[in-house]
């Protein structure tokens, strides 16, 4: 059996400690050097970045998330020991882990680390498909001659590099398709390296719940359950045609996935289609002044992301959730793509005014879509808004101040509402 | 109600009224036209609650009365009747149908009670004046291309008609802009318009207005209040709400200091722009203008499609200038220029350009450049 030491990259036969450096962190697998599709997932990403930037937090439970009615974005592994999980309401998380340090997310910092990781991935293969800030697929097939090493070695080296240079750890899943690679990366977190080969695919999937299949969400799960399908084994008993007849296009996909088959390609730079920010309000809110303050802050966050990504949006969307949980959205196509908070805010505020809705609202959100590179959208003076140029210049100046002295160095009075 | 009317007269009257009716509307009565017959006259009234058109035509009224029927249906029927036919409209209160008969054709149309038809409340008009149809047509037709479709800036979704200080004294002025281009058209201020409040005339009203303005020499009675305006000829009355908003201060964006003057034959220019723009990408449609002494080179470079270039002989005496524009905007502005050469006044490649017809400042256009 081929084995690889993750610490010194020594390749050897058999199991056990590395004969070269005596490290126990080896991976042994028959197909180790034959697999080339990887999923890389950062371990407790936001919390890890926070711990890296503030070593005093290293041994404390850290929860990144927001607000009294907010939810947990990321919990570090110490907090997870107490039972804290992502997407858990904050009050519940704090009940489980009262001494946790709760931090508001600092997306700028996460974006920076995420970009640095991505840059290191892209140095290895052009086929990098980011799924979010903290996870991405890589297709390393056909790169062995280029790198002078099989994908497994390249990946182990990448994980080592990320840890050494960026101070965060990642878990890697290596398999023969995307679906299995993603499952694999989750098997041995944190700092994991798991392999699912062709030979063991069927055995691996046996007995697993159908909910782990790609694309199976709560509603499909309920429909599957109604058909008596709970485990992947249950799916294997269905004829393909019967699954298709019952579940349409998804039926065919389920048939393949249950057999560990997934033909999706890894597509680099799947373009971002929209940027949006929303906030669940601490309590239902109808006060137009306060809502206006939220609109501004959300517009600013959307603008920050758009600026970081170098894009501008042709369409502005406003999302409101009433106390009754009914969601309404309003959208408007702009004369020119917008990147500035000022422009996004003005459109969102106009949409809000024209919606005729008074609230109270439970959630409010702002987004842009129809994204174009912002070089094509740099603001030309607006004939219908002679002051726009001055406001744009003011915003760019404020951005430079914030870049130099920190995000709180200068804010609009409106942001305090 | 029972009347007889010549098919051609009926078609014109119904046709003008029915175009106001929204094709997609959820209130059944708004799909109908209100027909009223009295004296020697029949009138057709249609509305979308923002605009109301009343069209009158002479008819032989045997029995006065009123009813409402589907505007589209009535129009389609009358359109398909043979030219020169005499059409009889008669309502039957017993069946609730309106019969339409002409020669051997007869139709029975469902009606809705006239009481249900919303009639636009009348308004106190603060200014009443008379203007030639030709002048009004020029004001609106030359400015409407610049109307914005951006819904969040609803105050740009129309033409701003107001009294302004023009180059040659007080003027009745129409302005429209979508932020990328702007049109400003003036005409001599008609007597009685001095006190008129500035109003934003909605796009649909501008389009509907066209049909009142067929005959250049006809006098149009214009009435304006803060919330409504009305245009009337003896046959047609168009009443419209105005857009409730504040039109931006456009005077600051009309460049006054542009000194680089280009004079070019407008139609030749437009054809050249149209030709080179053929290869431009659908999205940007950017055309580059390079100006040198008495020479204009238009070019498009679309990496994925190809490149195009055309040279024009022009009058230009300033330093070399490179500037880019959206081809569509150039074409639309050039097509407004019909009598003389188009004159462009430029400053620098990042600054808006001013366009006018010869030295006539009663219609000026401003267009923003693009990076090319």
The answer to whether residue A278 is catalytic is: no
How far apart are the two ends of chain A, measured CA to CA in Å?
Answer: 64
Separation between Cα atoms, residue A29 and residue A47, nearest integer Å: 32
Q: Which contiguous run of DSSP H or E holds residue A219?
A: helix A218-226
**Which residues are CB-contacts of A313 (< 8 A; sequence separation ≥ 6)?**
A274, A275, A306, A334, A337, A338, A339, A344, A367, A368, A369, A370, A371, A372
Q: Does B177 touch chain A (CB under 8 A)?
A: yes
Residue of B nearest to A383 (CA): B179
User: How many domains does chain B divide into?
Assistant: 3
Output the CA angle A183-A186-A187, nearest 5 degrees: 95
Full domain range(s) for residue B358: 255-367
**Which residues are CB-contacts of A382 (< 8 A; sequence separation ≥ 6)?**
A335, A336, A388, A389, B179
With CA atoms as reference, report the closest residue to A242 among A255, A230, A231: A255
The three-class DSSP label of residue B62 is strand
pLDDT at A67: 59
| B238 in the same domain as B176 | yes
Cis peptide before A190 (omega within 30 of 0): yes
Q: Are A337 and A372 in contact (CB under 8 A)?
A: yes
A379 pLDDT more than 60: no
Residue A384: its chain B contacts at CB < 8 A? 148, 153, 156, 177-179, 182, 248, 250
pLDDT at B97: 94
Q: Does B79 touch chain A (CB under 8 A)?
A: no
| B11 in the same domain as B96 | yes
Is A233 annotated in a binding site? The answer is no
| B276 in the same domain as B188 | no
**How would residue A232 be classed by pLDDT, with cut points 50, 70 and 90?**
very high
Q: Distance between alpha carbon B283 and the CA centroid of its chain, in Å? A: 26
Q: Are B353 and B269 in contact (CB under 8 A)?
A: no
| B200 in the same domain as B150 | yes
Better-scored residue on pLDDT, A58 or A377: A58
| B159 in the same domain as B132 | yes
Q: Would you list the domain boundaries of chain A?
A: 31-205, 209-257, 274-416
How far apart are the two ends of chain B, measured CA to CA in Å?
Answer: 66
| B202 in the same domain as B95 | no
Output the CA angle A66-A72-A77, nearest 5 degrees: 125
Sheet holding A2-5, edge to edge: A11-13, A2-5, A26-29
Which of B152, B284, B302 to substitute to test the interface with A, most A CBs within 10 Å? B152
| B58 in the same domain as B84 | yes
Q: Does B284 touch chain A (CB under 8 A)?
A: yes
With CA atoms as reference, report the closest residue to B295 among B280, B281, B279, B313: B313
A14 pLDDT more than 80: yes
Q: Are A152 and A184 in contact (CB under 8 A)?
A: no
Strand pairing of B158-166 and B199-202? Answer: antiparallel
B191 is a domain residue = yes
| B178 in the same domain as B111 | no
A304 pLDDT more than 80: yes
Domain end marker among B201, B226, B252: B252
How far B118 CA lies from chain A's nearest CA (Å)? 24
Output the CA angle A97-A98-A102, nearest 5 degrees: 85
Residue in this structure with the two tokens 């946790």, named with its chain if needed: A100
Is A134 annotated in a binding site? The answer is yes
pLDDT at B122: 77
Q: Are B90 and B1 in contact (CB under 8 A)?
A: yes
| B274 in the same domain as B241 | no
pLDDT at A272: 72
The active-site residue out of A31, A50, A129, A135 is: A135
Separation between Cα atoms, residue B69 and residue A396, nearest integer Å: 59
B121 is a domain residue = no
Low-confidence ranges of chain B (pLDDT < 50): none
Residue A333: its chain B contacts at CB < 8 A? 149-151
B122 is a domain residue = no
Does CATH number 3.30.70.270 belong to domain A31-205?
yes
- Taking only residues 346 to 405 of chain A, the set having a beta carbon closer than 8 angstroms to any beta carbon of chain B reads 346-347, 350-351, 354, 376, 378, 380-386
- Taking only residues 266 to 285 of chain A, the set having a beta carbon closer than 8 angstroms to any beta carbon of chain B reads none
Separation between Cα atoms, residue B26 and residue B31, nearest integer Å: 9
Separation between Cα atoms, residue B266 and residue B335, nearest integer Å: 7
A335–B250 CB contact, under 8 Å: no
Query: Between the CA atoms of B182, B187, B190 and B194, what dihedral angle is there, to the nearest 10 degrees?
Result: 40
pLDDT at A269: 63
B57 is a domain residue = yes
| B246 in the same domain as B141 | yes
pLDDT at A107: 81
Which CATH number is B323's domain given? 3.10.150.10
How far B352 CA lies from chain A's nearest CA (Å)? 8
Please state which of the four CATH numbers 3.30.1490.100, 3.40.50.620, 3.40.50.10800, 3.30.2010.10 is assigned to the domain occupying A274-416: 3.30.1490.100
A313 pLDDT more than 70: yes
CA distances to A294, A397, B217 from A414, in Å: 9, 17, 55
A384–B368 CB contact, under 8 Å: no
Paired with B90 in beta bridges are B2, B99
Q: Distance between alpha carbon B87 and the CA centroid of its chain, in Å? A: 32
pLDDT at B352: 93
pLDDT per residue over A123-161, tens digit each?
Answer: 999 899 888 889 999 999 999 999 999 999 999 999 999
**What region does A44 belong to: left with phi over 0, alpha with psi -120 to 50, or beta?**
left
Output the CA angle A65-A71-A73, nearest 5 degrees: 45
pLDDT per residue over A18-70, tens digit each?
Answer: 888 988 898 999 999 999 999 999 999 999 999 999 999 999 999 998 755 67
With CA atoms as reference, report the closest residue to A284 among A329, A319, A327, A321: A321
pLDDT at B216: 87
* Phi–psi pair at B116, nearest 5 degrees: -80, -15
- Taking only residues 296 to 325 of chain A, the set having a beta carbon closer than 8 angstroms to any beta carbon of chain B reads 316
B372 is a domain residue = no
Longest dimension (CA), chain A: 73
Two structure tokens written together for B278: 């053929």
In CATH terms, the superfamily for domain A209-257 is 5' to 3' exonuclease, C-terminal subdomain (1.10.150.20)
Q: Distance between alpha carbon B162 and the CA centroid of its chain, in Å? A: 16
Mean pLDDT (chain A, rounded) = 89
A377 pLDDT more than 50: no
| B308 in the same domain as B221 | no
With CA atoms as reference, report the closest residue to B205 among B75, B54, B52, B71: B52
The three-class DSSP label of residue B241 is strand
Measure CB to CB from residue B366 to each of A334, A380, A383 and give the nearest one. A383
B19 is a domain residue = yes
B106: number of CA atoms within 13 Å, CB side? 8
User: Is the complex ipTM more than 0.90?
Assistant: no
Two structure tokens written together for A417: 């509402």
> Average pLDDT in the A224-243 region?
90
| B205 in the same domain as B151 | yes
């Amino acid at each position: 059996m081929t084995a690889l030491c993750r610490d010194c990259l020594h390749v050897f036969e058999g199991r056990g400690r590395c004969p070269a450096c005596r490290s126990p962190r080896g991976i042994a697998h028959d197909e180790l050097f034959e697999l080339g599709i990887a999923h890389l997932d950062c371990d407790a990403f936001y919390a890890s970045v926070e711990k890296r930037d503030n070593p005093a937090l290293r041994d404390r439970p850290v929860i990144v998330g927001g607000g009294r009615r907010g939810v947990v974005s990321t919990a570090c592994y110490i907090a997870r020991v107490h039972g804290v999980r992502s997407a858990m309401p904050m009050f519940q998380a704090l009940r489980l882990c009262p001494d946790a340090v709760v931090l508001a997310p600092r997306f700028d910092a996460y974006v920076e680390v995420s970009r640095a990781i991505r840059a290191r991935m892209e140095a290895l293969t052009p086929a990098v498909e980011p799924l979010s800030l903290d996870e991405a697929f890589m297709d390393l097939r056909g790169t062995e001659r280029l790198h002078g090493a099989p994908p497994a070695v390249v990946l182990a080296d990448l994980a080592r590099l990320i840890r050494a240079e960026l101070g965060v750890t990642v878990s890697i899943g290596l398999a023969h398709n995307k679906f299995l690679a993603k499952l694999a990366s989750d098997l041995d977190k944190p700092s994991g390296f798991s392999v699912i080969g062709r030979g063991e695919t069927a055995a691996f999937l046996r007995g697993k719940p159908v909910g782990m299949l790609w694309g199976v969400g709560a509603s499909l799960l309920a429909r599957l359950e109604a058909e008596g399908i709970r485990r992947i084994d249950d799916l294997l008993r269905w004829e393909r045609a019967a699954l298709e007849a019952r579940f349409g296009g998804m039926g065919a996909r389920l048939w393949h996935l249950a057999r560990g088959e997934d033909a999706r390609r890894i597509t680099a730079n799947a373009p971002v289609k929209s940027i949006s920010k929303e906030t669940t309000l601490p309590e239902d809110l109808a006060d137009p002044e306060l809502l206006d303050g939220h609109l501004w802050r959300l517009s600013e966050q959307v603008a920050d992301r758009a600026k970081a990504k170098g894009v501008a949006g042709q369409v502005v969307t406003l999302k409101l959730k009433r106390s009754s949980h009914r969601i309404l959205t309003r959208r408007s196509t702009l004369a020119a793509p917008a990147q500035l908070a000022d422009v996004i805010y003005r459109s969102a505020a106009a949409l809000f005014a024209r919606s005729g809705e008074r609230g109270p609202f439970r959630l409010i959100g702002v987004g842009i879509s129809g994204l174009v590179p912002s070089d094509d959208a740099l603001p030309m003076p607006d004939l219908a808004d002679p002051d726009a140029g001055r406001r744009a210049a003011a915003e760019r100046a404020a951005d430079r101040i914030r870049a130099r002295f920190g995000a709180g160095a200068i804010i609009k009075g409106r942001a305090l509402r | 109600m029972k009347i007889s009317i010549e098919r051609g007269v009926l078609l014109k009257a119904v046709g003008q009224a029915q175009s106001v009716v929204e094709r997609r509307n959820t209130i059944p009565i708004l799909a109908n036209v209100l027909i009223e017959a009295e004296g020697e006259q029949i009138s057709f009234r249609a509305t979308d609650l923002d605009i109301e058109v009343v069209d009158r035509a002479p008819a032989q009224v045997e029995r006065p009365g009123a009813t409402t029927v589907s505007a589209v249906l009535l129009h389609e029927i009358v359109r398909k009747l043979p030219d020169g036919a005499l059409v009889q409209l008669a309502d039957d209160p017993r069946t609730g149908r309106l019969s339409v008969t002409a020669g051997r054709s007869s139709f029975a149309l469902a009606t809705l009670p006239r009481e249900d038809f919303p009639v636009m409340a009348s308004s106190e008009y603060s200014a009443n004046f008379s203007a030639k149809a030709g002048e009004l047509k020029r004001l609106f037709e030359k400015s409407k291309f610049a109307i914005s479709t951006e819904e969040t800036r609803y105050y740009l979704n129309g033409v701003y008609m107001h009294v302004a200080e023009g180059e040659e004294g007080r003027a009745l002025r129409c302005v429209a802009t979508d932020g990328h281009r702007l049109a400003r058209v003036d005409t001599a201020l008609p007597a009685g318009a001095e006190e008129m409040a500035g109003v934003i005339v909605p796009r649909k009203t501008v389009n509907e207005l066209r049909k009142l303005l067929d005959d250049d020499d006809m006098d149009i009675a214009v009435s304006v209040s803060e919330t409504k305006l009305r245009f009337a000829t003896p046959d047609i009355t168009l009443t419209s709400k105005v857009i409730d908003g504040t039109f931006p201060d456009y005077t600051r964006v009309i460049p006054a200091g542009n000194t680089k003057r280009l004079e070019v034959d407008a139609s030749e220019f437009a054809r050249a722009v149209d030709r080179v723009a053929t290869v431009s990408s659908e999205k940007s449609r950017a055309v580059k203008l390079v100006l040198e002494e008495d020479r204009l080179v238009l070019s498009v470079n679309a990496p994925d499609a190809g490149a195009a270039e055309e040279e024009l002989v022009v009058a230009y005496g300033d330093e070399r200038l490179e500037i880019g524009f959206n081809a569509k905007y150039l074409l639309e502005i050039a097509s407004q220029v019909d009598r003389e050469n188009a004159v462009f006044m430029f400053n620098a490649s990042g600054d808006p350009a001013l366009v006018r017809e010869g030295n006539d400042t009663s219609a000026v256009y401003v267009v923003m450049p693009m990076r090319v």
